[in-house]
Structures are given as C-alpha cells and as structure tokens.
Amino acid sequence: MTRLEHFTAADDERTRTWARAVPQMYHGADPDETRLSWLVDSAVADGAMLTGAYEDAPGVDGRIAPVGTFAAVPGTLNLGGAPVTASSSPPSG
C-alpha cells in the first residue's frame, strides 16, 4: 500500500532520505555527502514543504524511502543570488 507524507524540510534523516530519493527517480546516482548536505540546507533555507509517496515495504536496499517526491516552496524563489518574491503577474514598467 502507498501512503503520502507531507512535512517541512529539516536537518534530519527524513529530509536526507527524501533528498536522496529525488535523483533515483530519474536513475541518477546517490548524491555524495557534500551534495546531500547542500540539498538539505537549501530545502531548509527555502522553508520547503516536502511530500513523499511511500510503500509500506522496504526497498531492495532495506530502506523505506519515497517512491515519488514533490516539493513546494512558499512565498519566494531562490535564484542563486537572493530570494525573489513569487508573483502571478508580470512586472510592470
């Protein structure tokens, strides 16, 4: 059976497991510790709300990890330089 879990990104194992699952959805490599720390730190800094779809049984590696992921960031977008307020209307001028 599949269940959905919604949670706020935090510097914890749950978020690390979620972040490791994202590249695996696209047959990517497991991120190294440096990349994983950056992914978690970025999600936490952005206040990301994470969703994972989980199977009740562990995967072939013995871990229970999401088989589907989604992230939403409330209010701002981080374009690398600074947060930018998200808006549904085009800028004027």
Structure confidence by residue, pLDDT tens digits, 27-58: 888 899 999 999 999 999 989 999 999 888 87
pTM: 0.73
The pairing of strands 49-55 and 66-72 is antiparallel
pLDDT of residue 56: 83
What span, in angstroms and rounded, lies between the C-alpha atoms of 38 and 26? 19
Q: What residues have CB less than 8 Å from 22, skipping those under 6 apart? A: 39, 69
Query: Is pLDDT above 60 for 67?
Result: yes
Where exactly are the structural domains of the chain? 2-85
pLDDT of residue 90: 46
Tell me the angle at which helices 13-25 and 33-45 cross, rounded to the nearest 10 degrees: 110
Name the least confident of 3-7, 48-52, 73-77: 73-77
